[in-house]
Structure 1
């Protein structure tokens, strides 16, 4: 039965195939070929590992993102990555980028704080927002959820970036990354994929018989002088009630760059002086009153703040009235979530289990920039963005058996309502702005959906057809503060779509399986893309970003095929994909130039395509001395093109490969990870994406290889010391996700380099 048990496939889908005895590895031709292939791959790839492997045979990775029911990843006909709490701890991940950096065709976009007031930056103009990039597209096209609850999105309005990292990794026991459109059970707007963050539960600390437990962790990272303190306390109040409280506090400075220019002005390439803070709190109460009921009441609070002295904004030799003498920036972001997640065993003719979700969430960000000009003007920009989200969900599951066929039906309804607002205030506005104002009008987004998925097992085959009917509405609730100065009032928009999905998995043998999936996605324009209005004067030009009330929803059609090998020592996953997009929205596309005025607008690309492949896996070399030696590897590549103009899509990252080796014993582990990024080829860059100046040639990042080494010392059964040295060779390098849009002639490109050699150390104690 391919190594599955009834318990590992809850609560249904018991395969009827009897597992054949596995041949001895020395006599298996498949095994010998796999060993030779892995050895060649290890020699050929100049790159590192996905994460950790363990000294003993690992348990199957579990995931809920594929079907909303926890089950092994290998049972799903799609590409999914799982990052566990143990991996996050050992790698000492301090940010979302750290956590996802070794996954093929995946990146997280960040940028240094260099400008605050009255600035318009091309660094984010093409993609329009910051966040996770999967298979060449990202930002808000990646659906991010916490325990299945949607997270707020990012918003960019040229002079203010509000990102998506309302997160604290200390709160999570698992990160699940699902690639490609997930239209059946999740919102169809996840064109690139879904990233679900699964929070800790009291049971994770209590086990079967404990009434009190928890964890304390301290961490230090030298690349930003970051210090972290985190603690969890969980308890069992009765046989039917458990509780948990997790808190985290972190303080840090700006990540160090490899720039060596310390000038206190625009020539500066070292990081600006910066103080960062992160606070997080997670509280849970789990009630099991009997009768097959389980209720989880949860509260999550995450707060981030950052103070930056923007030395890099200063004019080296002030002579004009608008020259900057000094600037500073303050950023605050907070997310609050309250959730009631209930499950019921109903055992009726229409359902075996029912799940209901009620969640309320608020995400708000504020960025205040101050500037002193040579003219004596004191300028202030106070920019705010807020989302208030309600989410209601009802899902039923039913298992049906007919002869050799087993079906698990999952069907339900979902409704979300999101009130989105922004406000720009301050002192000394530039014409035509009159404070206070709004870049887009107050907007109410609502989505309603019905969905059905049938997971069917027949012998060695699993078929997973699904259908989702989505309706969205973008309704302008108030023009106050927006029109005027905008040239036209904000527009509303609504659409509906029927989105199919089909996945197929074939267990060719006890060692090999093949899978494929076709799915569709639909993503509505964001309020800012639909109605955003912005004007600014930059050196030598005037920039105008116009609303586009004619924007159409983005559509995607994704196809992936893959193979999995689960040999005695080798674990291998290979996937090829092609995603076609229609009406793909590109922010701030250059429209025309009239005199010294350059006009930009969010526009639809009629047709675009991204294709590529991913290869990942691990190899267990067996016992060596007193421990066990193992390797991990990955390789991903993607190409993207605007099929109307023939130009490449700049959001597609260069190819990435990783290779890791680790050695595990009972008291300690050692590991080394190589990470390789291919150079960005000039032919893969659309140079029309720089909007601060006339069309120019963009900076093409060179290739690089970095080496990280580290280890874990298990001082006692419940105490672990983790140590890691990142970028051991002190390599100077850039990530394409951070610099696309930057001119190749820029004198401050070193400001966008990644940290050099750095140390991380942490101590974790369970009790």
Structure 2
């Protein structure tokens, strides 16, 4: 089998098309340069926080990044992280239909919701998620119990920043594959006053929307006010009620043959409050309160046995005749962020952060059988976190050099717990119990980075030292039945990085970066324990797990011409000591010789690929401005321990957009082409159990259209039609682990044609 190349081939049709679009835009831009066009407007550079831990023009960063701003989130009627990131190359979010079994005897599909973001072939907890610099909880998965990470309401978010590649040098563990930061609004975003004009006394926004693919209804409101000299406040609240996301399945029977979505009701509510104090003397303080709660009620028709019941008397007695699940999650955050202008010899400014966050997830499932007692599963996962950071910045000049120093300390302490309760557990377990003991995870770090500028060059070396500890705080409800008590674990890691950027001309720049990353083992991986005599399955803990490590290199080019914006990059990342959850290490599956699973350091991997993205402004056409956007990404990955492809790598995707903006209206056409996932690019043996083979997906092109009407400058009406051609298609991130032999694969299809509408009023 062909080995992955550090720079993948561009000979595929989508790749040729993407480069063709880019070259055509380059040619048009080159022709447009000699005669300045009065209709072209210069775009302000994007300001990015996540790339260097302070506000900086994104064009000055020696790495790849993406920014989704408030206008794109609002006008695009974005409801989830998946929708927000769907246009980005080599990026995906796994979202499964709710087709799981309460007791875990069959499938866990759909327990995890938006389990995590995949960036350049790695996802889950290997991608760091932040809200205003505070870490979001991890997802937790143990056997068929999965809790996802989307403790979010995008109605509370004004901007999303995505940094690709290892980010451990600045942010520590969990940033091995990259980071995604969700930034919430402040009063000034609604009051103005940042452009030299006086701020309004009161401002805000009202929004309402409806989505046809899940029959969802949303309402949100924000009010901000100036409460006095140097005091501003903001309060935002949102609510959304929806049903199951539709698909192209056609079988509606109330049993395991069903391919239509299960009946489902979703209720989401969120509140954000902020107070901003600027008492003078170079001080600024931001106090934040955030509350998120989400609930799902699902009638699991797809887990029922078909009627009439058939099989042996024992099988008939155990046949499932009814199942239902209630899932809830809640996150509360209290945070203070302070900024002080010092002007001392050791720091120009000082930033301090102190945050407390508590998150709780719960799943209650009821399983009714034909002639056996009912089973109830009540599973919980909790994280309570304190986070503190102190960061200093200093600008130094020496000769022709300028140095922007950033250095500081981070400390995070989390108490993590789980509880399993209910009725009729599988022997030898006795409820209540814990899959891993109560654990305190701490991480303390020192970091430093220098952005050195001389002439047209910038050099950015950085270094971070982390010490992490996983300490068991209580063995209660864990031992027994575990064969051994939970073990503690600690270690340290050094994460260096080096970036360089050359401004070849005022329009073009070249950049490159080398960065290392790591991720410490999790409590459930180190101490997770499970035993089921009926299934002859044992999952053992592993206190000898080592941190996962990565090393990555990236090279790219940026073009900022009068009409054209272009970003292109190639990357090559190597990983070692990757942790494989629940690897089979022995046993034949009999009562005398049960199958034994364990989390182990097994895999070494490499992932390489390229990305090209940008936009071209065609100027005034038919009384409005016409622009084209494009993005293409392609990657290849290989598990070097087995020689097989990495299933976590998504197929190539091409996104093209055409937008026309007029003073009072606008329209857009968007196309996304998803390449096929071929059998040659799949390690089927690690995805599904033999003799099954992994389900492959064909290529698909999806078209969306939208119109915006602005009857007044402060009112926007958005209308959209998704999947115009009613295309039947699957996404690889969703079907990984789905056997081709299954007769219900249509249940994993994406929604067909659907309408969407929203109204936004600013005041």
| Aligned equivalent of 1:305, options 295, 302, 309 | 295
Q: Which residue of 1 aligns with 2:271?
A: 281
| Aligned equivalent of 2:463, options 455, 459, 467 | 467
2:657 pairs with 1:663: no
Other structure's SS at 2:72 match: helix
TM-score by length of 2: 0.92
Q: For 1:348 and 1:411, how far apart are their aligned partners in 2?
A: 15
Q: For 2:329 and 2:677, how far apart are their aligned partners in 1?
A: 33
Q: For 1:521 and 1:258, how far apart are their aligned partners in 2?
A: 41
Q: Is the 8 A contact 1:455 1:464 kept in 2?
A: yes
Q: 1:402 to 1:739 in 2, by over 3 A?
A: same
Q: Which residue of 1 aligns with 2:549?
A: 555
Q: Is the 8 A contact 2:654 2:672 kept in 1?
A: yes
Q: For 1:707 and 1:255, how far apart are their aligned partners in 2?
A: 18
* Per-residue deviation, residues 714-742 of structure 1 (Å, max 9, x unmatched): 11010000111111100111111111011
2:578 pairs with 1:615: no
Q: Which residue of 1 aligns with 2:11?
A: none
How far did 1:253 drift? Answer: 0.2
More divergent stretch after superposition (500-509 vs 312-321) = 312-321
2:203 pairs with 1:213: yes
How far did 1:609 drift? Answer: 0.6
Q: 1:110 to 1:134 in 2, by over 3 A?
A: same
| Aligned equivalent of 2:559, options 558, 562, 565 | 565
1:217-296 equivalent positions in 2, closer than 5 A = 217-296=207-286
1:339-354 equivalent positions in 2, closer than 5 A = 339-354=335-350
Q: Is the 8 A contact 2:582 2:598 kept in 1?
A: yes
* Per-residue deviation, residues 406-461 of structure 1 (Å, max 9, x unmatched): 00101000101000000000001111211001111111100000000001111101
Q: Which residue of 1 aligns with 2:88?
A: 103
| Aligned equivalent of 2:351, options 355, 358, 366 | 355
1:572-583 equivalent positions in 2, closer than 5 A = 572-583=566-577
2:489 pairs with 1:503: no
Q: Is the 8 A contact 2:107 2:144 kept in 1?
A: no
Q: For 1:238 and 1:194, how far apart are their aligned partners in 2?
A: 37
2:57 pairs with 1:87: no
* Per-residue deviation, residues 561-605 of structure 1 (Å, max 9, x unmatched): 100111221111111111111101122223334144443322213
Count of residue pairs the alignment pairs up = 720
| Aligned equivalent of 2:629, options 629, 632, 636 | 632
Q: For 1:542 and 1:659, how far apart are their aligned partners in 2?
A: 51
| Aligned equivalent of 1:407, options 403, 408, 411 | 403
How far did 1:549 drift? Answer: 2.2
| Aligned equivalent of 2:24, options 38, 48, 54 | 38
More divergent stretch after superposition (622-631 vs 582-591) = 582-591
| Aligned equivalent of 1:133, options 105, 114, 118 | 118
Q: For 1:487 and 1:453, how far apart are their aligned partners in 2?
A: 46
Q: For 2:703 and 2:533, how far apart are their aligned partners in 1?
A: 44
How far did 1:287 drift? Answer: 0.2
2:641 pairs with 1:644: yes
Q: Which residue of 1 aligns with 2:671?
A: 674
Q: Is the 8 A contact 1:241 1:288 kept in 2?
A: yes
Q: Is the 8 A contact 1:104 1:614 kept in 2?
A: yes
Q: Is the 8 A contact 1:143 1:190 kept in 2?
A: yes
1:728-747 equivalent positions in 2, closer than 5 A = 728-747=724-743
Q: Which residue of 2 aligns with 1:458?
A: 454
Q: Which residue of 2 aligns with 1:546?
A: 540
Q: 1:390 to 1:375 in 2, by over 3 A?
A: same
2:324 pairs with 1:334: no
Q: For 1:40 and 1:744, how far apart are their aligned partners in 2?
A: 43
Other structure's SS at 1:488 match: coil
Other structure's SS at 2:84 match: helix
Q: Which residue of 2 aligns with 1:392?
A: 388
Q: Is the 8 A contact 1:83 1:175 kept in 2?
A: yes
Q: Which residue of 2 aligns with 1:689?
A: 686
Other structure's SS at 1:738 match: helix
Other structure's SS at 1:231 match: strand
* Per-residue deviation, residues 673-698 of structure 1 (Å, max 9, x unmatched): 1101111111221122346x445211
Q: For 1:714 and 1:68, how far apart are their aligned partners in 2?
A: 37
* Per-residue deviation, residues 30-61 of structure 1 (Å, max 9, x unmatched): xxx9988136999xxxxxxxxxxx99543221
More divergent stretch after superposition (71-80 vs 242-251) = 71-80
* Per-residue deviation, residues 226-282 of structure 1 (Å, max 9, x unmatched): 000000000001121000000000000000111000000011000000000110000
Q: Which residue of 2 aligns with 1:182?
A: 167
Unaligned runs of 5+ in 1: 1-32, 43-53
Q: 1:123 to 1:703 in 2, by over 3 A?
A: farther
More divergent stretch after superposition (177-186 vs 298-307) = 177-186
Unaligned runs of 5+ in 2: 1-18, 29-38, 194-198
Q: For 2:461 and 2:223, how far apart are their aligned partners in 1?
A: 42
Other structure's SS at 1:300 match: strand
Q: 1:64 to 1:707 in 2, by over 3 A?
A: same
Q: Is the 8 A contact 1:241 1:287 kept in 2?
A: yes
Q: Which residue of 2 aligns with 1:441?
A: 437
Q: Is the 8 A contact 1:128 1:586 kept in 2?
A: no
How far did 1:98 drift? Answer: 0.4
Q: For 1:546 and 1:648, how far apart are their aligned partners in 2?
A: 27
Other structure's SS at 1:737 match: helix
* Per-residue deviation, residues 148-205 of structure 1 (Å, max 9, x unmatched): 1111111012232210000011111100000011122212321110101110000000
Q: For 2:470 and 2:173, how far apart are their aligned partners in 1?
A: 16
2:189 pairs with 1:199: no
Q: For 1:336 and 1:519, how far apart are their aligned partners in 2?
A: 33
How far did 1:129 drift? Answer: 9.1
Q: 1:121 to 1:441 in 2, by over 3 A?
A: farther
Q: Is the 8 A contact 1:122 1:689 kept in 2?
A: no
Q: Which residue of 2 aligns with 1:716?
A: 712
Q: 1:690 to 1:599 in 2, by over 3 A?
A: farther
Q: 1:107 to 1:686 in 2, by over 3 A?
A: same
Q: For 1:265 and 1:200, how far apart are their aligned partners in 2?
A: 46
How far did 1:488 drift? Answer: 2.1
Q: For 1:681 and 1:590, how far apart are their aligned partners in 2?
A: 26
* Per-residue deviation, residues 50-89 of structure 1 (Å, max 9, x unmatched): xxxx995432211100112112110110000000010011
Report which structure shows greater RCO (CA 8 Å, sep ≥6). 1
Q: 1:115 to 1:592 in 2, by over 3 A?
A: same
Q: Is the 8 A contact 2:95 2:113 kept in 1?
A: no
Q: Is the 8 A contact 1:515 1:563 kept in 2?
A: yes
Q: For 1:623 and 1:510, how far apart are their aligned partners in 2?
A: 25
Other structure's SS at 2:635 match: strand
Q: Is the 8 A contact 2:108 2:144 kept in 1?
A: no
RMSD of Structure 2 on Structure 1 (CA): 2.0
2:533 pairs with 1:526: no
Q: Is the 8 A contact 2:207 2:761 kept in 1?
A: yes
Q: For 1:503 and 1:571, how far apart are their aligned partners in 2?
A: 22
Q: For 2:148 and 2:360, how far apart are their aligned partners in 1?
A: 11
